[in-house]
């Protein structure tokens, strides 16, 4: 108990330290929100990140994975190092919030809060440079292109962890619907894999009044969509999570014309590779068999996206204990559930030990909604959390 009281006071000192320039960080967050940039086009954002970090004494490397930035700060003789990653990109969404700091770029919006993640890491980075007590090396990783699942992979393929070694890497995402500033931790699978399957059912078009002379791809597609529901209900182990969603269907243009083909787009999610592989076999097999049973054919384009995000147990325990010490049990969501959304930080966790955690965004619109906004009230506690994690990891 003494430990918790002592660390809570220490934590408050960090938050007071960050509080001295919180207005500036919030203004910066609003500025990033006003000027959102799509995947791999985060040039302005990247420049702002670089100029701030350089002014605080970080050694800054740019151009890693396009617009990616890695900032390094070392103290003492310690050989250990920790990486903390934030994402910087926005989404192709027309903002509908009507806020004073709403996007000025038509059709582009920070609808996932990556402006906030960047601001949090900058707030923590400034504190660490000015007053951080640690022995070792901190690496702040600002990643491009999370939304298209390509940024982490590109940074890794350009030698992220060879050039900038870390013993563990951490990241966070704000989460709408979770009380403001509360932390969620999941050991093991925390977010799902994502794969896409594009299916074209090809038949033989003709007059709507003479179906006997055609092969109707609309009917075959209708049957396929129904049959696809059996993959999760009949093929997947009932104790495993799986999602098969047909999110797009396009075919035909007139009531009296049977079209040549119908196109479908599916997304598939799973928490482990075995279930993921099963979906990858069963969905295309069903598409081909269903099409064939109607005399049609199925063209299947299966695109593997990214794997499930698997948090390492020891690092997740450490991450949780830091939050517990700094904020007390009331700020930790008990039994935080894995999320069926996806996150390309999964690739970093395939190479390095680490953990990805969640911070409540309060009662906001959902992620990727045109009405969403990041909650500025998270910045101070989340930045304080990063500082405490670094100081604990590099004690
Ligand atoms: Zn997103
Ligand atoms: Zn996101």
Q: Is the pLDDT of residue 1 over 60?
A: no
Is 200 within 8 Å of 298 (Cβ atoms)? yes
Higher-pLDDT residue of 222 and 3 is 222
Residues, CB-to-ion distance under 5 Å, ligand 1 = 112
Place of tokens 């320039």: 21
Q: Measure CA 34 to chain center.
A: 21
pLDDT-derived band at 6 (thresholds 50, 70, 90) equals very low
Q: Residue 136: what pLDDT?
A: 98
13 or 192, greater pLDDT? 192
CA triple 372-373-378, angle to 5 deg: 130
Model confidence at 8: pLDDT above 90: no
254 C-alpha to ligand 2 centroid (Å):
40
Q: Calculate mean pLDDT across residues 132-152.
A: 97
341 C-alpha vs ligand 1 centroid, how far in Å? 9
Residues, the chain:
395
Q: Which ligand is nearest to the CA of 173?
A: 2
Rounded distance from Cα 173 to ligand 2 centre (Å): 6
Burial of 353 by CB count in 10 Å (0-12 exposed, 13-18 middle, 19+ buried)? middle
Orientation angle between helical segments 43-55 and 22-34, nearest 10 degrees: 160
pTM for this structure?
A: 0.92
Phi, psi of 172 (to 5 degrees): -145, 160
pLDDT of 13: 87
Average pLDDT over residues 332-356: 97
Residue 205 to residue 190: CA distance in whole angstroms: 46
Tokens of 105: 């770029």
Question: Residue 46 in contact with residue 38, Cβ under 8 Å?
Answer: no
pLDDT of residue 2: 35
Kindly identify the ligand whose nearest atom is closest to the C-alpha of 92: 1
- Kindly give the distance from the C-alpha atom of residue 338 to the centroid of ligand 2, in angstroms, as a whole number: 15
pLDDT of residue 12: 76
For residue 225, how far is its CA from the centre of ligand 2 (angstroms)?
A: 29
> Does 7 have pLDDT greater than 60?
no
**What's the pLDDT score for residue 10?**
52
What average pLDDT does range 194-206 have in this prediction? 98
CA-to-CA dists, residue 186 to 15, 122, 219, angstroms: 25, 25, 43
Q: Determine the distance separating the centroid of ligand 2 and the alpha carbon of 200, expressed in angstroms.
A: 30
Residue 384: closest CA among 82, 120, 26, 203: 120
pLDDT value at residue 394: 98
Bridge-based pairing of strands 354-360 and 261-270 is unpaired
What pLDDT score does 15 carry? 87
The alpha helices in the chain, defined as continuous H runs, are: 2-19, 22-34, 43-55, 114-131, 151-157, 160-163, 217-230, 273-293, 313-327, 345-351, 379-393
Confidence of residue 4 (pLDDT cuts 50, 70, 90): very low
Interatomic CA distance for residues 154 and 167, integer angstroms: 20
What integer pLDDT is reported at residue 115 of this predicted model? 98
Sheet holding 193-202, edge to edge: 242-251, 261-270, 193-202, 297-306
């Amino acid at each position: 108990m003494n430990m918790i009281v002592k660390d809570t006071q220490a934590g408050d000192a960090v938050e007071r330290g960050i509080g001295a320039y919180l207005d500036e960080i919030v203004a910066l967050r609003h500025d990033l929100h006003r000027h959102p940039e799509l995947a791999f086009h985060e040039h302005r954002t990247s420049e702002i990140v670089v100029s701030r970090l350089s002014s605080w004494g970080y050694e800054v490397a740019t151009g890693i994975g396009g617009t990616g930035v890695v900032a390094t700060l070392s103290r003492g003789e310690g050989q250990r190092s920790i990486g903390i990653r934030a994402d910087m990109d926005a989404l192709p969404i027309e903002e509908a919030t009507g806020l004073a700091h709403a996007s000025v770029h038509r059709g582009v919006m920070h609808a996932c809060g990556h402006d906030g993640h960047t601001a949090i890491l900058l707030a923590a980075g400034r504190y660490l440079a000015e007053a951080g007590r640690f022995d070792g090396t901190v690496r702040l990783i600002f990643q491009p292109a999370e939304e298209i699942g390509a940024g982490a992979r590109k940074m890794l393929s350009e030698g992220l962890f060879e050039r900038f070694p870390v013993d563990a890497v951490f990241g966070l995402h704000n989460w709408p619907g979770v009380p403001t500033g509360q932390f969620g931790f999941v050991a093991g699978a925390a977010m799902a894999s994502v794969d896409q399957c594009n299916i074209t059912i090809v038949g033989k078009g003709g007059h709507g009044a003479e179906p006997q002379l055609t092969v109707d791809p609309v009917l075959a597609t209708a049957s396929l969509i129904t049959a696809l529901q059996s993959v999760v209900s009949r093929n997947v182990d009932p104790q495993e999570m799986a999602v098969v969603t047909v999110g797009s269907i396009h075919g035909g243009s007139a009531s009296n014309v049977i079209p040549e083909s119908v196109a479908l787009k599916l997304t598939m999610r799973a928490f482990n590779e075995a279930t993921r592989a099963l979906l990858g076999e069963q969905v295309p097999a069903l598409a081909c068999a269903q099409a064939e049973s109607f005399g049609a054919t199925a063209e299947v384009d299966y695109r593997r996206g990214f794997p499930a995000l698997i948090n390492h147990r020891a690092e997740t325990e450490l991450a949780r204990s830091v939050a517990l010490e700094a904020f007390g049990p009331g700020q930790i969501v008990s039994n935080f559930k894995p999320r069926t959304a996806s996150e390309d930080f999964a690739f970093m966790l395939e190479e390095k030990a680490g953990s990805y955690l969640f911070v409540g965004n309060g009662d906001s619109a959902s992620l990727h909604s045109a009405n969403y906004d990041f909650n500025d009230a998270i910045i101070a506690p989340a930045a304080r959390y990063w500082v405490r994690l670094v100081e604990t990891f590099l004690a």
